[in-house]
Amino acid sequence: LRVILQQMCGGLAFSHPAFSSQNGKVAIVTGGAKGIGCSTAKQLSRLGMHVIIAGNNEAEGNEAVTRIQQDTQNEKVEFLYCDLASMKSIRQFVQNFTAKNLCLHVLVNNAGVMLVPERKTADGFEEHFGLNYLGHFLLTNLLLKTMKKSGTENLNARIITVSSATHYVGELNFDDLNSSYCYSPHGAYAQSKLALVMFTYCLQRQLSEDGCYVTANAVDPGVVNTDLYRNVCWPGRLVKWLTAWLFFKTPDEGAATSVYASVAPELEGIGGCYLYSGQKTKSADVSYNEELQRKLWNESCKMAGIPDSA
């Protein structure tokens, strides 16, 4: 009944096809201890991948590891601390991961916060911008070297970045990326999700120009029943509580497009797409503006303290 009603309302519940074993591959899933990230980690683990959950809550992360190991009978699941709201922590995470001497075939930039009150990351950036976007910008750039070594002509390494339909109403405010003059939680979340799409396109162009065997795609999971909505106003939470069973996807359904982007054979070597319900979809017009993409990349390099490659 739920699936039929969802389809009548246009909310297509996408389920990816069965994939062959991915044994021997290594994946990192940020925010993989809960919600969509946990389901993504579980589904990749079920396919035989070695999955590293990157998160900022050790207890939750370890619980997720145990649960996933039991559910999937795959022992190669581990938690590694990474607070995406701290550049020091991100750098430490990359050092710890690199010390393991593993390849990296799949990076799922999934962690995020939504509608948080005005707050700053450890480095003084507005939290949506600093954590959702800039944290993943730095993490991806620091992991690129390993991913370039891991991808091959027939088996590209894949970067999957979780955006949201909210990006369609997002605006990049270059005069105030940190929303310090006028803070709107909705505006800040939408800006961070638009920035992630533009980052994906800019990164894909650079990877193609450099002839690297790494691809970058953005995904939209749809509307999914998770804790992400904890900061929504109480009437909104009440409506969600009453209707989620019908209109919201389950975390497993929400993870389907991330998993599809991570392993689907038909996406081999293909990057620069925005995927929704397993389909290539047009993102916001502004997201294709290469000049703005480059401007965002240049600013982000300065903010994250890394050399500019664009």
Ligand X SMILES: NC(=O)c1ccc[n+]([C@@H]2O[C@H](COP(=O)([O-])OP(=O)(O)OC[C@H]3O[C@@H](n4cnc5c(N)ncnc54)[C@H](O)[C@@H]3O)[C@@H](O)[C@H]2O)c1
Active-site residues, by number, are 189
Which position's Cβ is nearest ligand X? 35
Work out whether 131 is an interface residue with ligand X (CB under 6 A). yes
Nearer to ligand X among residue 55 and residue 271 (C-beta): 55
Nearer to ligand X among residue 77 and residue 85 (C-beta): 85
Judged by CB under 6 A, which of 52, 65, 107, 114 binds ligand X?
114
* Segment interacting with ligand X, rule: CB under 6 A, options 11-19, 208-216, 222-230, 291-299: 222-230
The site for ligand X, by CB under 6 A, has a size of 28
* Minimum separation from the CB atom of position 71 to ligand X (A): 17
Nearer to ligand X among residue 28 and residue 267 (C-beta): 28
Nearest to 7 by CA among 258, 249, 243, 225: 249
Work out whether 226 is an interface residue with ligand X (CB under 6 A). yes
Nearer to ligand X among residue 82 and residue 188 (C-beta): 82
Contact 180, 124 (CB under 8 A): no
Give me the amino acid identity at 248.
Answer: F
Residue 40: both structure tokens together: 């993504």
* Minimum separation from the CB atom of position 210 to ligand X (A): 27
Nearer to ligand X among residue 186 and residue 309 (C-beta): 186
- Give the largest Cα separation in the chain, rounded: 53
Nearer to ligand X among residue 11 and residue 55 (C-beta): 55
* Minimum separation from the CB atom of position 84 to ligand X (A): 4
* Minimum separation from the CB atom of position 255 to ligand X (A): 9
d(CA 307, CA 310): 9
Contact 130, 138 (CB under 8 A): no
Work out whether 130 is an interface residue with ligand X (CB under 6 A). no
d(CA 151, CA 37): 23
d(CA 64, CA 42): 9
Contact 13, 65 (CB under 8 A): no
Query: What are the Cα distances from residue 224, in Å, to 28, 50, 147?
Result: 21, 26, 29
Strands 77-81 and 214-220: unpaired
Work out whether 85 is an interface residue with ligand X (CB under 6 A). yes
Work out whether 219 is an interface residue with ligand X (CB under 6 A). no
Contact 232, 115 (CB under 8 A): yes
Contact set for ligand X, span 241-280 (CB under 6 A):
none
Task: Fill in the per-residue mask, 23 to 62: x = in contact with ligand X (CB under 6 A), - = not in contact.
Answer: -------xx-xxxxx-----------------xxx-----
Judged by CB under 6 A, which of 47, 65, 228, 303 binds ligand X?
228
Judged by CB under 6 A, which of 80, 197, 198, 224 binds ligand X?
224
214 Cβ contact partners less than 8 Å away, ≥ 6 residues apart: 144, 147, 148, 151, 156, 157, 158, 159, 207, 271
Contact 72, 45 (CB under 8 A): yes
Binding region for ligand X (CB under 6 A): 30-31, 33-37, 55-57, 82-85, 110-114, 131, 162, 164, 221, 223-224, 226-228
